[in-house]
């Protein structure tokens, strides 16, 4: 089963020791004693590095699965970590000394890197069964994608005013959080495991294209409703008629991603049934309204799903012939 555990750390010298004990206990519960040494040493180094060079809040997380756990150290600084330098020291010195930089993490990891977010960063690693003599695994820096520019303003003939009525705001926010986690997992796989997961790069590009179809006003209206504590909101945005096939494709791709998550081929959790129902309704509304249908409000049921690729082709064919 996918796992997600988190420990908030105090801004004190005890933080590294606390993180070390906590991570070691999780490895034992996962029945992965082979990872304990590298997991404990790696997290100690990351926490020490965060205390020395970053700012609060500090957290340590264990995510992924028992087969592929990933340890993350979160801090409040957006400054990227310094590239690691080779450490020439004996094993005893390694085990007794913390804060030697990220070189030690590279020796403990099968894959590792950092994600720079808007309010801090995450430095992560996948612990190896044993330390390597030298950190030969290349690290990767994963920055949040810059805000996607709004779509270019097409002619009036190519624009449709889409009205999404009655969006469940808390449910959409939870869906958006799940989506962002999925996007991050795919970016990490495409950066650090491209040869093992070639599809991750393709999906990452598809998701980026999907996001570009939404004007900034879509996010602005959702964020405003969340800030005001509204349970439901109506959102009206201009969309390009040509985006319809993209939404059809992405409806299928989200189902594929759910299947990968359930099979533990991705570390993210699959969408819940309610999240999937809202997602399918939203994508379905985009497809139907771009094809000329009227708005149907969200009712909490999954009945308004997007058409399949073959159904879209059939609809497009009827539209092209005037039938």
Domain range summary for the chain, segments of one domain joined by +: 3-143, 156-321
> Which residues, in sequence order, are CB contacts of 88 under 8 Å at separation 6+?
none
Is 132:82 a contact under the CB 8 Å cutoff? no
Rounded to two decimals, what is the model's pTM?
A: 0.65
Element at 14 (helix H, strand E): helix 14-29
CA dist 36 and 68 (Å) reads 13
Please name the fold of domain 3-143: Heat Shock Protein 90 (3.30.565)
**What pLDDT is stored for residue 85 in this prediction?**
55
Checking phi first, is residue 31 left (phi over 0); if not, alpha (psi -120 to 50) or beta? left
Query: What confidence tens digit (pLDDT) does each residue in 65-112 have?
Result: 777 788 999 999 998 887 665 544 444 343 333 335 578 888 899 888
User: Does the pLDDT value for residue 146 go beyond 60?
Assistant: no
User: Does the pLDDT value for residue 137 go beyond 80?
Assistant: no
């Amino acid at each position: 089963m996918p796992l997600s555990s988190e420990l908030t750390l105090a801004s004190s010298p005890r933080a590294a020791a606390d993180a070390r004990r906590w991570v070691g206990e999780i490895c034992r519960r996962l029945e992965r004693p082979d990872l304990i040494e590298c997991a404990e040493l790696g997290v100690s180094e990351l926490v020490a590095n965060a205390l020395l060079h970053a700012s609060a809040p500090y957290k340590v997380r264990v995510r992924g699965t028992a087969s592929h756990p990933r340890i993350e150290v979160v801090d409040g600084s957006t400054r990227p970590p310094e590239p690691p330098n080779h450490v020439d020291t004996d094993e005893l010195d390694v085990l007794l000394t913390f804060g030697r930089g990220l070189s030690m993490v590279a020796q403990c990891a099968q894959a590792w890197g950092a994600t720079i977010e808007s309010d801090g960063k995450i430095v992560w690693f996948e612990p190896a069964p044993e330390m390597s003599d030298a950190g030969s695994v290349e690290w990767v820096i994963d920055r949040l994608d810059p805000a996607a520019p709004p779509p270019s303003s097409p002619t009036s003939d190519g624009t449709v005013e889409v009205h999404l009525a009655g969006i469940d705001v808390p449910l959409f926010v939870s869906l958006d959080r799940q989506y962002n986690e999925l996007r991050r997992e795919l970016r990490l796989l495409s950066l650090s495991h491209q040869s093992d997961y070639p599809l991750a790069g393709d999906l990452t590009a598809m998701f980026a294209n999907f996001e570009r179809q939404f004007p900034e006003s879509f996010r602005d209206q959702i964020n405003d409703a969340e800030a005001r504590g509204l349970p439901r909101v109506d959102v009206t945005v201009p969309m390009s008629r040509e985006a319809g096939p993209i939404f059809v494709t992405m409806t299928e791709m989200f189902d594929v991603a759910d299947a990968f998550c359930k099979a533990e081929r991705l570390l993210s959790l699959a969408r819940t049934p309610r999240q999937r129902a809202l997602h399918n309704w939203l994508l379905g509304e985009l497809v139907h309204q771009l094809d000329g249908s009227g708005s149907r409000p969200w009712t909490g049921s999954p009945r308004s799903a997007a058409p399949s690729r073959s159904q879209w082709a059939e609809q497009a064919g009827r539209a092209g012939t005037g039938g």
